[in-house]
Structure formats: structure tokens, C-alpha cells
Amino acid sequence: MSKLAYVREKEIPQSAPPITEVGIIKWLRENLFSSWLNSILTVLSLYFIFILLKDFIPWAYGAHWTTGSIRECYDVNPDVACFSVLTARWKQLLFGFYPPEEYWRPTLTFFLLILSIIPILFTRFVRFFWFSLLYPGLAIWLLWGGSIWSVAIIYFGLGLGFLSFLIMDSRLIRSASISLLAACLITVLFFMFLASFSAEMLSSLIPIYLPYVESLKFGGFTLSLIVGVTGIVASFPLGIVLALGRQSDLPLVKMICVGFIEFIRGVPLITLLFVASVLLNYFLPPGSNFDIVLRVIIMVTLFSAAYMAEVIRGGLAGLPVGQHEASAALGLTYWQSQRLIIMPQALKISIPGIVNTFIGLFKDTTLVSIISLMDPVGLASLIRADTKWNGIYWELYIAVGLMFFIFCFGMSQYSQYLERKLKTDN
């Protein structure tokens, strides 16, 4: 028998790992003190956190919440926070100049918003998607008020167009493009000749009204959410269309999309907002009343759609050309292959960039304060101009920052959840 040969005769039983390899000690060793450099960095970071919190915690912990003005705060203890300003003005920070007796409307709109995005965010609830479709109209009615029928008739018109498209496409004409044109025509005709008439008639028959609230009364976090959420919802499909247009084989379509994207990306958002608030008035017929909030929403939407388009284009470019070929070889049409094969993958690749753009858009809504709309930042300046609160800085901006942080952090967390969920390879 050679010396190299060896056969195990006794099994070695499992035993517990040494104490340094388990639990907290192992974690500390591996993550915080794995080397000299690492240990020094750990100690430095701890010191840094300590400095930050050393002053902040007493400042925030002993804060005033109930005094009537910043003077009173200073008189009692000038070294702690004066959150009384939030106690006095939190409603304004949330609702702007919305009539106080109507606060329930934006509040309800907000909670319905949460309900309406659940079917979009979680596939489990997709059967409630009809509510997400219904929500925009409901929100417009709740926020601005007026007769419910003027909103309902818009839904009716769009539904009519959609139904006629479906019927023509599947039964009568069987050509998607002609059916689409005809359906658009029907919709336009409906809005031109029948819509306002039937809305008025229904309003007089079954009057369901909410008091009208004009856009200039909107403000605070309500305004940020209106502009932000609408911008996000509208810029996403627009961005997809622009990204596809940029890759199109049709030179004119391509030129328009590239021109649009490059123009928007080359111009600061503030400029666009000024255009929305001031310049547009010169071009519109005098006396026409083009809602300022709507104008801002349009500009913000166009702005982030251009960025969205570039993000999605990155995702499209990341797909192997074989995906296009395989779907073509199976006989799928261009739009089928975009919808079923290309976009799901391109969007999945682009999730981090898309959410980045969403977060950017949401924070950019604070720029509307420049054109004197009263978003939380605009309100903060306004409150500080009040003699009672003149001189207050941190307390207000911390509160505003925190509100934005909650939403942006939520979006970022959701995007990570989505990425994990959509992971199909391992």
C-alpha cells in the first residue's frame, strides 16, 4: 500500500464555531475593526457623530413648542429650539392659503392618493387599478371644487374615444392607425360640441358642487405634492415616448425628439418656470385664464420628461440587439415588441435612474417659490417675514426638509424593493 493512500474511517461531528466567529463580536471585528486603518476610521466617525449630536440633542430635546413668538422663546431659554413656530403655523405649511373650513379636501385627497398608488406599486392589488384611473379626476374635483360633472364629462369623453377605438380596431376597420385617428376625431368632436352643454345640463339636473378654490390659494406641502405627483405621473410616459422617438427610423420624429430633449436639458428649470409665469401671458390671448398651477406642472413635466427620456434611452441601449431580433423573428409587431419585450427590460435596467429623476423632480418643485407660489420653502420665507417669527431659521427648514426627506426616502426604498423583486437571474 502506498503512503499517499488515505481513507477516512471516523466521521468528524459538527461543532460550534469559536466565539470570535459568531454574533456581535464577529460583526464588530469584520465590519468596524478589521484593520488598523478601519479602526481609526471607525473611531473618527464615532467622534464626528458625537460632535453632531452633542449640540443637536439638547437643542431639540428641550425645545419650546407653545410660546407665541420667537421673543418669548428667547426670553425663556435662547439655547434651545423654538418649535412653537410649527405649532402656530403647521396648517399653513401643509395647506398654504387654502380656506381652513375646506382643509378636509386636500387631506382626503392625500389619503386617497395613497390608496390609488397601492395598485400601481404592488402587483398584488392590481385588481383595484380602476381606482387609480379614477383618482386624477376625483383629486381635481376635490382640490379645485366646482361641479362634479365637468370632471365626469372629461372621463366620459375619454372613455368614449377609447371604446370607439376598441370597437373600430377589433370589429369595423381592423387597422390600428386609422381607428386611432377616427377615435381621436370622435373625442375632439365630443369635447367641442357636446361636452360643455351636457356638463351644464347634468349640473342643473343633479347638482353636486364643492365650493371653488382658486389656484393662487394653493400652497404648502399640498402644492408640492400636486406639482410633484402630477409631474411624475405625466413625465414618465412622455419620457418613454421621447426615448423611443429618439431611436426612431423616421428622421423627422427623431429630429423633433432630439431637439426637444437637448433644448430642455440645456435650459435651467428656473428659466422655464419664469416662462410659465410671465412670458406665456404675452403669447396667450388677453383675458384667457390659463391656470398658473397647470402652467407650472406642464413646465416641470416637460423638464423631467427630457431627463427621463435620456435615462430610458440608456436602458434601451443596454439591451442586446438579439432581443429585438428574437421578437421580430417570432412575428411580433414593432409596438408589441416594444411593449412586451423591450420596455419591460429597459425600464427595469433604468429603475435607479428613473427614481433618481422622480426624486429630483419632487425636490425641484421648491423652485416654484421663485415665481412667488407658496410652496413650503416660499412659506418659510413668508413666515420669517412675520415680526413674531423674524429671526427663526433652523426650526422651519428642518421641518420642511424632513417632510421632503420622508417622501424621497420612501421613493428610494420602493425602488430598491422593486429591483429586488424584478431580479430574475441568479
Partner 1 sequence: MSEQPNEREIDRSKMEVTDEIAIHISDMNKWFGNFHVLRDINLEVKRGERIVVCGPSGSGKSTLIRCINRLEEHQKGNITVDGTELTTDLKNIDKIRSEVGMVFQHFNLFPHLTTLENCTLAPIWVRETPQKEAEEIAMEMLKKVKIPEQAHKYPGQLSGGQQQRVAIARSLCMRPRIMLFDEPTSALDPEMIKEVLDTMIELAEEGMTMICVTHEMGFARQVANRVIFMDEGQIVEQNEPVEFFNNPKSDRTKLFLSQILGH
Q: Which of 88, 83, 52 is nearest to 65 (CA)?
A: 83
| 3-state secondary structure at position 306 | helix
- In the list 341, 354, 380, 383, the residue contacting partner 1 (rule: CB under 8 A) is 341
Cell triple for residue 256? 423633433
Restricted to residues 345-374, the positions that interact with partner 1 (CB under 8 A) are 345, 348
CA 246 to chain centre: 24
Residues contacting residue 129 through CB under 8 Å, at least 6 positions apart = 119, 120
Q: Return the number of the residue (170 or 196) whose C-beta is nearest partner 1.
A: 170
| Binding segment toward partner 1, per CB under 8 A, in 29-37, 38-46, 324-332, 408-416 | 324-332
Q: Nearest distance from residue 166's CB to partner 1, in Å?
A: 15
Distances (CA, A) of 259 to 246, 251, 254, 312, 387: 9, 12, 8, 17, 49
- In the list 12, 322, 402, 420, the residue contacting partner 1 (rule: CB under 8 A) is 322
Q: What are phi and psi of 103, to 5 degrees?
A: -50, -30
**Total number of residues shown for the chain:** 426
Does 331 contact partner 1 by CB under 8 A? yes
Q: Return the number of the residue (333 or 416) whose C-beta is nearest partner 1.
A: 333
Q: Which residue has the cell 436639458?
A: 265
- In the list 31, 77, 333, 390, the residue contacting partner 1 (rule: CB under 8 A) is 333
| Binding segment toward partner 1, per CB under 8 A, in 144-152, 204-212, 295-303, 316-324 | 316-324
Q: Nearest distance from residue 328's CB to partner 1, in Å?
A: 6
Cell triple for residue 229? 405627483
Cell triple for residue 415? 425602488
Q: Nearest distance from residue 406's CB to partner 1, in Å?
A: 32
Q: What are phi and psi of 74, to 5 degrees?
A: -60, -35
Q: Return the number of the residue (113 or 180) whose C-beta is nearest partner 1.
A: 180
Q: Nearest distance from residue 336's CB to partner 1, in Å?
A: 5
Restricted to residues 149-168, the positions that interact with partner 1 (CB under 8 A) are none
| Binding segment toward partner 1, per CB under 8 A, in 52-60, 308-316, 317-325, 404-412 | 317-325
| Interaxial angle between packed helices 251-266 and 292-317, expressed in degrees from 0 to 180 and rounded to the nearest 10 | 120
Determine whether 376 is exposed, middle or buried from the number of CB atoms within 10 Å of its CB (0-12, 13-18, 19+). Answer: buried
- Residue 210's DSSP bridge partners are 146
Q: Return the number of the residue (214 or 325) whose C-beta is nearest partner 1.
A: 325
- In the list 24, 329, 385, 402, the residue contacting partner 1 (rule: CB under 8 A) is 329
Report d(CA 87, CA 66) in Å as an integer. 7
Does 344 contact partner 1 by CB under 8 A? yes
Q: Which residue has the cell 439591451?
A: 319
Q: Nearest distance from residue 335's CB to partner 1, in Å?
A: 10
Restricted to residues 405-424, the positions that interact with partner 1 (CB under 8 A) are 422, 424
Cell triple for residue 183? 377615435
Which residues contact partner 1 by CB under 8 A? 320, 322-323, 325-333, 336, 340-341, 344-345, 348, 422, 424-426
